[in-house]
Amino acid sequence: MNYSKFTTQDFLMDPSFVQWAREGKNDAFWKTFIANNPFKSEEIEQAKLFVNAVKSFPLFELDAESQESLWERVEQKIEEETPVVTMPLLGRTWWVAACVLMIASWLGWQTFKKDNSNSVTYENLITATDTKKSDLVEFVNNTDKVLPVNLPDGSSVSLKKRSRLAYFKNRFGTTKREVYMSGEAFFEITKNPAKPFFVYANELITKVLGTSFIIKAYPNDKQVNVSVKTGKVSVFTQFEAKRSLKLNSNELDGVVLTPNQQITLDRQELRLSRTLIHLPEVLSAADTEIQSFEFDDVPVAEIFAKIEKAYGVEIVYDEELLSACKMTASLDNVPLYEKIEMICKGLGATYEMIDAKIVIESNGCS
């Protein structure tokens, strides 16, 4: 993570920074960063003041659309009400107070909207289209076995039990490829950047250009889950303000997921949470050399870099504190999380997962 390019807004939306500002986690890392990047001190100070003024609000859990709307309101508020002449400290205090008041009312409205929104169902999605029902092609799996489904574009779907999949044959593949699903399915999508592939599942929309992934969206579940096997996907909700723009774009918009990552949508709160999957795997594209995890007196930085490349994950740590650390370890055939635990044990360090990143907290080594 290149924090040296972060703005105040970026710091406020970063889970690691917010947890440090609120709870002092990873204190050594952030103190070192500030010492090495003194030109960022003012932005960091403003962000810390803001975080501690709105302690009850998990800002970094807002989706990208909500963040954009929030900051447009903050900037407008500041432009309208900032005094022409202020003492530096007074100006900063006012800035925080004005933003806190505005955000409190904005988040209250967002919560009201979420609590009063109706759940989206498979039937709702199909009924809402303006296409003739005679053009509907539907697959229903009432068996205990996986039902293979081949789509007109060459894509394939493995439909699990108690699951349904549908598309409208008259418009599938005209400008985009759209399917509707309920239950659980594994998708392998034929790549076609000119015609994005969309999966509508409850309140969540998944957009891909060509990749493989799993969606779990049963009608009575409280969550919708998307996990990526290969390639990239983006996700956003049915209720986002710029939903139509994202549906008509050939780019990946919203929250973007890469291999070994997953997103969970809380259907009640409409909150998206990104994490790593339960058992991350070495990427098939990784070089054979990368897939070996035998280390003999190797710098920890090299070990972390190799793990990042092999699994496609991001490891955040204090490079200066761990610059003198070396390890000897045999980590072949060891799951990713166990690898990290063993390394942390050797360093006397701890780790936690924040927004699909592995964050290492350590006091360094001699």
Domain finish residue from 249, 276, 303: 276
Looking at residue 190, its amino acid is: T
Q: CA–CA distance from 4 to each of 8, 25, 34 (Å)?
A: 11, 19, 9
Does 79 share its domain with 133?
no
> Is residue 237 one of the residues assigned to a domain?
yes
**How far does CA 79 lie from the centroid of its chain?**
31
> Is residue 283 one of the residues assigned to a domain?
no
Residue 82 has pLDDT above 80, yes or no: no
> Is residue 80 one of the residues assigned to a domain?
yes
- d(C-alpha 313, C-alpha 281), whole Å: 10
Domain finish residue from 248, 276, 304: 276
Does 172 share its domain with 243?
yes
Q: What is the CATH number of the domain that holds 270?
A: 2.60.120.1440
Of 37-41, 243-247, 260-264, 338-342, least confident by mean pLDDT is 37-41
8 Cβ neighbours under 8 A, 6+ residues apart: 43, 46, 47, 50
pLDDT in tens, 307-340: 999 999 999 999 888 988 999 999 998 999 999 9
Local confidence band at 106 (pLDDT 50, 70, 90 cut-offs): very low
- d(C-alpha 107, C-alpha 12), whole Å: 15
Contact 102, 74 (CB under 8 A): yes
Local confidence band at 108 (pLDDT 50, 70, 90 cut-offs): very low
> Is residue 350 one of the residues assigned to a domain?
yes
**Longest CA pairwise span in the chain (Å):** 72
pLDDT given for residue 206 in this prediction: 95
Does 48 share its domain with 132?
no
pLDDT given for residue 136 in this prediction: 93
Does 100 share its domain with 14?
yes
**How far does CA 291 lie from the centroid of its chain?**
26
pTM for the model stands at: 0.67
Show contacts of 310-313: CB within 8 Å, 24+ apart.
310/282, 310/283, 310/286, 311/260, 311/280, 311/281, 311/282, 311/283, 311/336, 312/258, 312/259, 312/260, 312/283, 313/260, 313/276, 313/280, 313/356, 313/357, 313/358
DSSP structural state of residue 9: H
Does 80 share its domain with 191?
no
> Is residue 151 one of the residues assigned to a domain?
yes
Q: Which of 333, 289, 334, 338 is nearest to 309 (CA)?
A: 289
Of the two residues 290 and 360, the one the predictor is more confident about is 360
Local confidence band at 46 (pLDDT 50, 70, 90 cut-offs): confident
Residue 71 has pLDDT above 80, yes or no: no
Does 100 share its domain with 238?
no
**Distance from first CA to last CA of the chain, Å, rounded?**
25
Residue 225 has pLDDT above 90, yes or no: yes
- d(C-alpha 8, C-alpha 48), whole Å: 9
Local confidence band at 364 (pLDDT 50, 70, 90 cut-offs): confident
Six-digit token pair at 248? Answer: 């008509």
Domain finish residue from 250, 276, 302: 276
Collapse the DSSP code of 288 into the 3-class scheme (helix H, G, I; strand E, B; otherwise coil) and give the result: coil
Does 157 share its domain with 202?
yes
Does 132 share its domain with 36?
no
Residue 195 has pLDDT above 90, yes or no: yes
> What is the three-state SS of 328-363?
EEECCCCCHHHHHHHHHHHHCCEEEEECCEEEEECC
Does 85 share its domain with 130?
no
Six-digit token pair at 366? Answer: 């001699």
Q: How many domains does the chain have?
A: 3
Residue 275 has pLDDT above 90, yes or no: yes
Q: Which of 78, 73, 79, 75 is nearest to 108 (CA)?
A: 73
- d(C-alpha 232, C-alpha 201), whole Å: 18
Looking at residue 149, its amino acid is: V
pLDDT given for residue 1 in this prediction: 61
> Is residue 287 one of the residues assigned to a domain?
no
Pick the most confident of 17-26, 95-104, 185-194: 185-194
Residue 203 has pLDDT above 70, yes or no: yes
> Is residue 366 one of the residues assigned to a domain?
no
pLDDT given for residue 28 in this prediction: 79
**How far does CA 49 lie from the centroid of its chain?**
26
Which residue range forms the structural domain that includes residue 329?
Answer: 294-361
Does 109 share its domain with 127?
no
Q: Residue 28 is inside which H or E element, if any?
A: helix 27-36
pLDDT in tens, 123-156: 888 887 767 778 899 999 999 999 999 999 999 9
Q: What is the CATH number of the domain that holds 331?
A: 3.55.50.30
- Average per-residue pLDDT in the chain? 81
Residue 57 has pLDDT above 70, yes or no: no
- d(C-alpha 3, C-alpha 43), whole Å: 11
Does 127 share its domain with 269?
yes
Q: What are phi and psi of 338, to 5 degrees?
A: -70, -35
> Is residue 286 one of the residues assigned to a domain?
no
Q: CA–CA distance from 202 to each of 123, 207, 224, 240, 270 (Å)?
A: 9, 14, 8, 14, 11
Of the two residues 96 and 335, the one the predictor is more confident about is 335
Six-digit token pair at 356? Answer: 């699909």
Q: What is the mean pLDDT of residues 52-64?
A: 52
Residue 292 has pLDDT above 90, yes or no: no
